[in-house]
Amino acid sequence: MFARVSRKGQVTLPAEMRKLLNLHPGSRVQFVVEKDTARILPVEGGIETFRGAVQVDAPQDFKSARHKAMEERSSEKVARSRR
């Protein structure tokens, strides 16, 4: 199977490859480079596939958790810049 790279660096995967990898519009793929070879791997969904994987005792406030994580990351960057 062959494909041509466009001026924008885009490649259309041949229909046979899409069928073999079970790729549909909106599917995600990962490119893995090993020396002078590249592989295309289908990605099994995003973070939303982990929903329900961890049991929690109470509803979670993700907005608050995200804000706290951003504050911690900012504090780490400030601390590193002062060294």
- Residue recorded with tokens 């090993």: 34
Sign, Cα dihedral of 31, 34, 38, 40: negative
Question: Is 90 exceeded by the pLDDT of residue 36?
Answer: yes
Query: Mean pLDDT of all residues in the chain?
Result: 88
Q: Give the up-direction half-sphere exposure of residue 42: CA atoms within 13 A in the CB hemisphere.
A: 14
Distance of CA 3 to the CA centre of its chain: 24
How far is the C-alpha of 19 from the C-alpha of 31, rounded, in Å? 18
Instruction: At 20, list the tokens.
Output: 């073999």
The domains of the chain are located at 56-81
Model confidence pLDDT, tens digit, residues 48-65? 666 677 788 888 888 888
Question: Is 70 exceeded by the pLDDT of residue 46?
Answer: no
3-class SS at 40? Answer: strand
